[in-house]
Structure 1
Amino acid sequence: MTSLQASQLAAALAGVALIGFVAGRYIAPSDHAASSSTASGGKQALYYYDPMFPNQKFDKPGKSPFMDMELVPKFADEGAGGASASGPPAVTINPAAMQNLGVRVVAAKRDNLSTGLDVTGIIAFNERNVAIVQARAAGFVQRGYARAPGDVIAAGAPLADVLVPEWGGAQREYLAVQRTGNAALTSAARQRLMLLGMPPGLIAAVARSGRVRDVTILTTPSGGVIDTLDVRPGMTLAMGQPLARVVGLGSVWLDAAVPEARIGDVRPGAAVTADLTAFPGEHFPGRVQAILPTAQTDSRTVTVRVELQNRGLRLRPGMFARVALGQSERSALLIPTEAVIRTGKRTIVMLAAGDGRYHPAEVQIGRESGGRTEILAGLSDGEKVVASGQFLLDSEASLTGIPVRAIGAPPAGGTK
C-alpha cells in the first residue's frame, strides 16, 4: 500500500469515526439505556454493533474490538435503522438532544411563489433602425462636413459633397431634350438620370433651373448616431461603395442574460421593467421582443432582447441595467431551500415522523425563490422536514441502511 492510499484510508476511517461518535452519543442508545430497556421491556436484541463501525455485527454484548466502548444492541422490533410498529424504519433521536444537534423542523406548506426573474442586462443599439449611406455613382469627394463616428445627427444631415462627372453629361442631354418639347423623349431622358443613381430631388432641381448640377450632397436618410464613416475629402468613390452607417436612437435594445434553467418562464411580449444605475429611482418599461436562439456556453445563459423607448436619448449603448421579467405569483408547495439534500443522483429531504424519529424521502423540486424551494412531487402539504441538522441524520440513515421513501409512496402515519 502506497503512502497516498494509506493517508486516504486514514481520512476515511476518521470520517466514519466522527459520524459514529456523534451517532453513538446522540442517536444510538447508550449501553445502560439499552440494558434498562431490555430489562423493562423484555426486548430481544438481534445483534450488537459499534456505533463507530456500524457495519460490523456481534452476537454478544461486550467491549468493541475497535474502540474502548460498549457495543450497542439492535433490537428485533427496530427493523432497519430503528423502525417501530407505528411507522417505517427511521433514525431515532432523544428529543432532549435535538437542541444540541441543532435540529430544526419546518412544515411544508402551500404558499405563493414568485415566478419573476431579476437578471442583468446591457443597453445596445437597435439594429432594426440602421441606415446605410452608399455612393450612387463613381465620383470624387470634394468637401467633408467634419463628421466623425459617434456624432449624433438629425435626418438629412450632410456628410460630404461628391462630384459625379457622369451625371454632368446626362443632365446636359436631358436639358436638350426638354427644350424640344417632346414629352416621350423627355420622359426617357429623365428615366436615364434615375438609372444613373441621381436622386429625384436633384433631377427636379435641374429641370427647374435648367442648369447642370454634377456635384451632389450626400445626406443621412434618418437621424441617429454615426456608427461608421468611410468618406473623407479627396477620396475616389466607386458605385455602391458603403460610406456611412447610421443607427437610430429613438429606441434601444436591452440584452438581458437569463439562466437557461429559467428560460421557459420567459415569453415574447412579456412586460419588463429596467432600472439603471445612471438614473436611480426611475423605472424604464419595455417588452420582450425576442429570445435569441443560442445560449452562452461560458455562462449558461440565454439572451432575451427587450426594446425600450429612448425618450430624450438618455439610454446609451453599453449602460448596465437590472431587469425585472414577469413579476407574477402562483400557488406552490414550498419548503426552506436549506432542507433540500442533493446527492447527485436524486434529491431528498429528511422527514420528521414524530417522537424523535426521522427518515429520508425522495422529492422532485421546481423553482427556487426567496430562500424557498417548490416541491413538485414527494411531499404532501403539512408534512414536516428537517431544515437544520439534516446532513447528520442523512449520514446515520445511510449507515444503518434506512430505505428512502420513493416519490409517489403514500405518507406514513404520523408524519404530518
Structure 2
Amino acid sequence: MRNSYIVKIITGVFIAAVGLAACKTKGGVAPHNSMELVADSSITHLTQPVNAQVVATIPVISPETGSRIYSAAANGVITYDTRQQTAVASRVGGRIERLLIKYNYQPVKKGQLIMEIYSPDLAAAQRELIYVAQSSKELLAGARQRLQLLGMQPGQIDQVLKTGNILYRIPVYSNSDGYILEKSAAVATASAAPPVATSAGDGMSGMGSAAAPVTSAPAAPAATPVLLREGQYVTAGQPLFTIYQADALVAVFSFPPQLAATIRKGQRLLFYPTEDNTAMQTGIIGLIEPVFRNGENFTLARIYLNKHHFRAGQLLTASIPVMYSNGSWLPKKAVWRLGNKAVVFKKEKEVYVPQVVQTGVEEKDMIQVITDIADWKVASNAAYLVDSESFIKTKQ
C-alpha cells in the first residue's frame, strides 16, 4: 500500500537523522561507547499502520442530536374478511359426478350449481319414497323429510314422485354470493409467509424520513386450480369449499418489530393504492396480530373496510409517523460499513481512529447512531480514510 510505503520512508529518514545527531560532540566526534538514540515524539503517530489510524486533513463534523419525526411506510394487501364466510359441505357420502368449480377465488352467486354428487344412500332413499307413495300414504311425509335432510330440494322430490324415476345426480348449490375457495387451499394460505417488503416514506414536519426495516407482509390471493376432481369420493358432512362474501374485504398491513410498538388498536392510518398515491384514505386498525412465520417476526394490522372501491389482491401502502428521541445523527457518508459492523473515524489529536458504533434507522442521507458519540469529532467522509484494500483495524 502506498501509505505504508511512505511511512517506512519517513521512519528510515528519522532513524538516520537521530543516529547522526547522536554521533556529534563538543570536539566533533563522540566516543564509540557514548552513542545514544533519542526519539522525536512529535512524529510517533506517523509510525502506526494505516489500517489502525490515519493522518489526514479531511474536515470534521459533530453529530446532530435531538428528536426526529419521520413517516414510515408499511406495505399491505386487500384480502377477504375471514369473519364473513360460509362453508359448503356434502350432506351425503358419494362420488363427484360433475364439478363446476375450476379455480380458487372463482366468483359465485347464491343458488349457483357447484357440483353434482352420486350417492347410493340417496338413491336408496328415493326408491323408498316411491314405494311408500304407492303403498302407505301415512309414511310419505317422513320419507320426503329424509330426502330433504340428505340435500334434495322439494322440487326434485316432487319430480321423483311424478315421474317415478330416480335422480342419481344430486346437485350442490352455493349458499351465498362471493368468492369460493377450496378448504385445503384456505389452510395453506393461512399458514404461508408471503414476501412483501416495507419501505420508507417521505418525512414529516421538515424533520426528515427514516427507512423501515424489511419484513414480510400478506400476499395477494392466488387463483390456483382446485385439487378436487370429478370421480373423487366425499363423505357426509365433509367441508369442501369456503365462500367469502364479496362485499366484506379487509386491508392487512405488516409492521416490523421496531414499528409494531408504535401502533395500537383503534389508531387511524393513512393508506393508498400502491399504483396511485393520490387516492389516499383513512382507516381504523381493528386488530393487531403478532406473527412468527418461517423464522421471521412481525406484526399484522387489519383495517376492516365497509364501503370501499378496492378489489381483492390489490397492493396498498400505509403511512405512519414515528418519533425517535434517542441517539445521534450523522450523514451516511460519515459511516463506513464492515459487513455487520458500522465504523466512524474519530478525531484524536492529529489522527483519525476507526471506532465501531451501533446504528439504527436510516433516512435519505442521514443515519441514526445509538452509541453515545455526542462529544465526538468524526470525519465527514469515511471513504477517504479507507485504504485501497479496505482493511480497518478497530480498537476493542
> Normalization by structure 2: what TM-score?
0.56
Matched, 1:387 2:350: no
SS of corresponding position for 1:379: coil
Counterpart mapping for 1:28-39 below 5 A: none
How far, CA to CA, are the matches of 2:347 and 2:232 in structure 1?
A: 84
SS of corresponding position for 1:110: coil
How far, CA to CA, are the matches of 1:20 and 1:142 in structure 2?
A: 84
Q: Are residues 125 and 251 of structure 1, via their aligned partners in 2, closer, same or farther at CA, if it must alter by over 3 Å? A: closer
Whether the 8 Å contact between 1:115 and 1:329 is mirrored in structure 2 is: yes
Paired residue for 1:137, among 71, 89, 92?
Answer: 92
TM-aligned CA deviation for residue 340 of structure 1:
1.3
Q: Are residues 129 and 52 of structure 1, via their aligned partners in 2, closer, same or farther at CA, if it must alter by over 3 Å? A: farther
Q: Are residues 169 and 312 of structure 1, via their aligned partners in 2, closer, same or farther at CA, if it must alter by over 3 Å? A: farther
Counterpart mapping for 1:12-411 below 5 A: 16-17=1-2, 19=3, 50-51=6-7, 59-61=15-17, 75-81=40-46, 93=56, 98=57, 103-114=58-69, 117-125=72-80, 131-138=86-93, 149=103, 150-159=105-114, 164-168=122-126, 179=138, 193=146, 197-198=149-150, 218-227=172-181, 238-240=234-236, 244-249=241-246, 250-252=248-250, 254=252, 256=254, 262-266=256-260, 269=264, 273-283=270-280, 285=283, 287=285, 289-295=288-294, 304-310=299-305, 311-312=307-308, 314-317=310-313, 319-324=314-319, 326-332=320-326, 333-344=328-339, 346-352=341-347, 358-380=352-374, 382-388=375-381, 390-393=382-385, 395=387, 404=395
> Normalization by structure 1: what TM-score?
0.53
SS of corresponding position for 1:221: coil
- What is the RMSD of the two structures over their aligned residues, measured on CA atoms? 5.4
How far, CA to CA, are the matches of 2:290 and 2:303 in structure 1?
A: 15
How far, CA to CA, are the matches of 1:373 and 1:61 in structure 2?
A: 47
Please give the per-residue CA displacement for 1:243-290, whole angstroms capped at 9, x wherever unaligned.
54433441246464x6xxx53432585655443245441235364643
How far, CA to CA, are the matches of 2:173 and 2:392 in structure 1?
A: 83
How far, CA to CA, are the matches of 1:226 and 1:137 in structure 2?
A: 21
TM-aligned CA deviation for residue 345 of structure 1:
7.4
Please give the per-residue CA displacement for 1:296-330, whole angstroms capped at 9, x wherever unaligned.
7xxxx66654434454563222x333344x42112
Percent sequence identity is: 12
SS of corresponding position for 1:60: helix
How far, CA to CA, are the matches of 1:54 and 1:391 in structure 2?
A: 25
Q: Are residues 112 and 82 of structure 1, via their aligned partners in 2, closer, same or farther at CA, if it must alter by over 3 Å? A: farther
Q: Are residues 130 and 162 of structure 1, via their aligned partners in 2, closer, same or farther at CA, if it must alter by over 3 Å? A: same
Please give the per-residue CA displacement for 1:315-350, whole angstroms capped at 9, x wherever unaligned.
222x333344x4211213211222112334753312
Amino acid at match of 1:110: T
SS of corresponding position for 2:333: helix
How far, CA to CA, are the matches of 2:117 and 2:278 in structure 1?
A: 49
How far, CA to CA, are the matches of 1:55 and 1:263 in structure 2?
A: 53
SS of corresponding position for 1:374: strand
TM-aligned CA deviation for residue 376 of structure 1:
1.9
How far, CA to CA, are the matches of 1:236 and 1:340 in structure 2?
A: 63
Amino acid at match of 2:292: P
How far, CA to CA, are the matches of 1:74 and 1:391 in structure 2?
A: 33
How far, CA to CA, are the matches of 2:290 and 2:260 in structure 1?
A: 8
How far, CA to CA, are the matches of 1:118 and 1:336 in structure 2?
A: 22
How far, CA to CA, are the matches of 1:399 and 1:274 in structure 2?
A: 45
Q: Are residues 327 and 239 of structure 1, via their aligned partners in 2, closer, same or farther at CA, if it must alter by over 3 Å? A: same
What residue ranges of structure 1 are gaps of 5+ in the alignment?
Answer: 1-15, 22-49, 63-72, 84-88, 181-185, 407-416
Q: Are residues 348 and 238 of structure 1, via their aligned partners in 2, closer, same or farther at CA, if it must alter by over 3 Å? A: closer
TM-aligned CA deviation for residue 359 of structure 1:
3.7
Q: Are residues 295 and 107 of structure 1, via their aligned partners in 2, closer, same or farther at CA, if it must alter by over 3 Å? A: farther
TM-aligned CA deviation for residue 139 of structure 1:
6.1
SS of corresponding position for 1:334: strand
Please give the per-residue CA displacement for 1:115-153, whole angstroms capped at 9, x wherever unaligned.
754354454555665544222114688999x77645433
Q: Which has the higher strand share?
A: 1
* Aligned pairs, number: 311
How far, CA to CA, are the matches of 2:355 and 2:227 in structure 1?
A: 68
How far, CA to CA, are the matches of 2:232 and 2:340 in structure 1?
A: 68
SS of corresponding position for 1:322: strand
SS of corresponding position for 1:168: helix
